[in-house]
Amino acid sequence: MQRVQTQTQATGPEHYPKYLRLAKSFERQLRMGTLRVGDRLPSIRQLREQHSISAGTVIECYLWLEREGYIRAHPKSGFYVTRTPVSCPEPEGAAPPSRPVAVAGTALQNIGDPATASVQLGPAVVSRCLLPLARLNRSMRLALSAFDDTAVTYEEPRGNIRLRRQMARLMFRQGATCSPDEIVVTSGCTEALNLAIRAVAKPGDVVGVESPGCYENLQALEALQMRALELPHQPRTGVDLERLESAARKHRMKAIMLTSSCHNPLGSCMPDASKAAIVGFAAKHGIALIESDLFGELVFDSTRPRTLKAFDTDGIVLQCSSLAHYVAPGFNLGWIQAGRWQSEVERLKSFTNVANARLTQLALAEFLESGAFEKHLKKLRVALWRSVQATREEVLRTFPAGTRVTRPEGGYVLWIQLPDRYNGLDIQHQAAARRIHILAGEWFSPTRQYRSYIRISCGHPFEVIQPAVRTLAGILKDKRPD
């Protein structure tokens, strides 16, 4: 039998279990065509001797490949390839910016209540079964035991100092250095973004936004009565600097809202050179950069990308972050490091809610201090990677020919371009009628681009997502394109 090469170091992040690194090396060979349908894989004994690993590791590897549908065991014969990964072009980008527009109609009205959906593939939140609930309960108990007679008084407006120290440590490993005194704890990333926008702009001002970009950013701009200028964001490269410079010459932008790591909804990461160039451009022109860094910790290869803040030497970047989406949604805690606008953010925070509750801040601080966050991330990255990859291939297998899907580098959302003339909003309504919640692409553009796009969240185990994807495929099959 022909010897199969399985070089794991080129395909799997070091923190993954050995079996998964080995399995991903096989997956890479399947993707490259080195292994084809019908090929026989090495026996358990052969693979064990070849890589000096245990038989248990080999079995786990083959079980993973079997669960993914790549191989099948033939009794008394061995393991054989049954299918190869599906590949396709990624979705097309947006049209170049024309003029700023008033943001309106971002409230996601009349699309079905996600709380009543049996499968929630719309909100970018992680399933409860993937959250560290038991460890968070312990953190809450420890926080309660740490309470003293000051427990019922207001927390410091900037936030609990223990929690701010941990947030400063998180920023340090992202490449940025800041003091805990430069951090303001917020009610999730939503409040952080609102504080950032209010600190740098006023109603009627122009703010650059990525296209596609997170609809929550557009909701904030609508609430604050500001105008949005779309800046096309390309997978793996980000916003084109030449187009950005051209837009800046034509329009007086007060700020630009960007996501550089695990972009929502594209799932890609900008290269460091692009990040440095955009920060340099913003500093040169005095344009504030509002960075939303929600999913940067969820990059699949475990190499935490550097943030825009890491390249900021002029205080031009306002970094907004949160762990709410994938650690403790109920705590709803985030933070902002506002650079040269720090004092203004603190002033605005005092007008908004004075301070956040102390108990949840102490609990999250204990969770971060204990090392539980790192353990949670290690498991979660693997679970989300599996869910995203399996869902992507299920979409490509079952959706109409011509469907395009992103190849995320992290996070847990898929951006899907349906064939021309399909209406994403119509598909969203039909899915809601079947108690499946997704989001139409037009919510991710202030000018309602991406009419034939949808976004699917993969924050659940694949066995939960798969039936919903097949229902969506049935809707598309039965639906005559407009």
DSSP string, 212-275: S--HHHHHHHHHTT-EEEEEEEETTTEE-HHHHHHHHHHS-EEEEEE--SS-TTT-----HHHH
- As a whole number, the mean pLDDT across the chain is 88
Euclidean distance between CA atoms 337 and 27, whole angstroms: 40
Does 11 score more than 50 pLDDT? no
- Banded model confidence at residue 234, pLDDT cuts 50, 70, 90: confident
**Residues 53-66: what's their mean pLDDT?**
89
Determine how β-strand 183-186 pairs with β-strand 439-440. unpaired
**Residues 165-169: what's their mean pLDDT?**
95
CATH number listed for the domain at residues 101-127+378-478: 3.90.1150.10
Q: What is the pLDDT of residues 176-213, one digit of tens each?
A: 889 999 999 999 999 999 999 999 999 999 999 999 99
Euclidean distance between CA atoms 140 and 135, whole angstroms: 9
Per-domain residue ranges of the chain: 18-81, 101-127+378-478, 130-373
Euclidean distance between CA atoms 70 and 470, whole angstroms: 19
Structure tokens belonging to residue 402:
């011509």
Structure tokens belonging to residue 94:
């947006």
pLDDT of residue 2: 39
Q: Which residue has the higher pLDDT, 479 or 309?
A: 309
- The topology under which CATH files domain 130-373 is Aspartate Aminotransferase; domain 2 (3.40.640)
Question: Which amino acid is it at 102?
Answer: A
- Banded model confidence at residue 288, pLDDT cuts 50, 70, 90: very high
Euclidean distance between CA atoms 414 and 40, whole angstroms: 32
pLDDT of residue 15: 52
- Banded model confidence at residue 109, pLDDT cuts 50, 70, 90: low
Cα torsion angle, 142, 148, 152, 155, sign: negative
Q: What is the pLDDT of residues 417-457, one digit of tens each?
A: 999 889 999 999 999 999 999 999 999 999 999 999 999 99
Cα torsion angle, 64, 69, 70, 74, sign: positive
Domains 101-127+378-478 and 130-373 share a fold: no
Question: Which amino acid is it at 303?
Answer: T
Backbone angles phi, psi at 158, to 5 degrees: -75, -20
Q: Residue 157, exposed/middle/buried by CB under 10 A (0-12, 13-18, 19+)?
A: middle
Structure tokens belonging to residue 431:
């899915």
- Banded model confidence at residue 96, pLDDT cuts 50, 70, 90: confident
Lowest mean pLDDT among 150-154, 198-202, 287-291: 150-154
Does 222 score more than 50 pLDDT? yes
pLDDT of residue 106: 65
DSSP class of residue 82 equals -
Euclidean distance between CA atoms 90 and 75, whole angstroms: 39
- 87 Cβ neighbours under 8 A, 6+ residues apart: 31
- Banded model confidence at residue 28, pLDDT cuts 50, 70, 90: confident
Does 8 score more than 70 pLDDT? no
- Banded model confidence at residue 90, pLDDT cuts 50, 70, 90: confident
What percentage of residues in the chain have a pLDDT greater than 90?
Answer: 65
Structure tokens belonging to residue 38:
């019908």
pLDDT of residue 394: 93
CATH class of domain segment(s) 18-81: mainly alpha
Longest pairwise C-alpha distance within the chain:
74
Q: Which residue has the tokens 């590791």?
A: 57
pTM over 0.95: no
- Banded model confidence at residue 462, pLDDT cuts 50, 70, 90: very high
Q: What is the pLDDT of residues 366-388, one digit of tens each?
A: 999 999 999 999 999 989 988 99
What percentage of residues in the chain have a pLDDT greater than 70?
Answer: 92
pLDDT of residue 481: 55
Euclidean distance between CA atoms 231 and 209, whole angstroms: 6
